């Protein structure tokens, strides 16, 4: 289902500075409806997110990612987790927002954003995010010329 994944600038900066440990921190995924406008530079914390999805079977703040992995493979850093399912739910969403949950929205660091490519919904059924086989996020540290 995931089509495009992008990082939030502050989350990437905090990860490089040691403020986010993907493997051991509580990392969540929240569903967001089409009215949300992604801003890589200005959105820093979960409190900056608007239009979070609502519906039967969905809890505000989203779901905690399980079975998280961080592997360096084929010259790329790949961050992944188990697919996420909201069972027996009625939800409509266009995006997923991944963030480090501190328990306080204003200090919960936004890490990344996934655009599903179209509106996805469930009606008294499973709403499932199946992450790409390469991972949720892939960081390619290719050398560049300055």
Q: Shortest CA distance to 73 belongs to which of 118, 135, 5, 21?
A: 135
All residues at 6 or more sequence positions from 21 whose CB lies less than 8 Å from its CB, including other chains: none
pTM for the structure as a whole: 0.91
The per-residue pLDDT for range 62-118, each reduced to its tens digit, is 999 999 998 888 888 889 999 999 999 999 999 999 999 999 999 999 999 999 999
Q: Is residue 32 part of a domain?
A: yes
Mean pLDDT of the chain: 92
Number of structural domains, the chain?
1
pLDDT at residue 106 in the model:
96
Q: Is residue 144 part of a domain?
A: no
- Tokens, residue 14: 């905090």
Average pLDDT in the 45-67 region?
97
Q: Is residue 145 part of a domain?
A: no
Quick one: CA torsion of 43, 47, 49, 54, rounded to 10 degrees? 170
pLDDT over 90 (residue 134): no
Query: What is the span of the domain harbouring residue 131?
Result: 4-139
Q: Is residue 41 part of a domain?
A: yes
Q: Is residue 128 part of a domain?
A: yes
pLDDT at residue 17 in the model:
82
CA distance 114 to 61: 16
CA angle, 131 then 137 then 138, to 5°: 120
Q: Shortest CA distance to 32 belongs to which of 13, 14, 46?
A: 46
pLDDT at residue 43 in the model:
96
pLDDT over 80 (residue 141): no
29 pLDDT band, cuts 50/70/90, is very high
CA distances from 103 to 64, 82, 106, 107, 146 (A): 12, 22, 9, 8, 40
144 pLDDT band, cuts 50/70/90, is low
Q: Is residue 31 part of a domain?
A: yes
pLDDT at residue 35 in the model:
92
Q: Is residue 82 part of a domain?
A: yes
Q: Is residue 95 part of a domain?
A: yes
């Amino acid at each position: 289902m995931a089509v495009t994944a992008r990082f939030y600038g502050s989350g990437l900066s905090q990860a490089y500075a040691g403020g986010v440990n993907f493997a051991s921190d509580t990392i969540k995924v929240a569903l967001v409806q089409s009215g949300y406008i992604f801003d890589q530079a200005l959105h820093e914390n979960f409190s900056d997110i608007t239009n979070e999805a609502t519906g039967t079977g969905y809890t505000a703040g989203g779901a905690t990612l399980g079975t998280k992995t961080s592997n360096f493979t084929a010259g790329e850093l790949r961050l992944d987790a188990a697919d996420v399912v909201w069972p027996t739910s009625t939800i409509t969403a266009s995006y997923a927002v991944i963030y480090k949950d501190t328990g306080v929205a204003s200090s919960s660091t936004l890490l990344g954003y996934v655009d599903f490519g179209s509106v996805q919904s469930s009606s008294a059924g499973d709403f499932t995010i199946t992450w790409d086989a390469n991972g949720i996020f892939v960081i390619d540290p290719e050398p560049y010329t300055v």
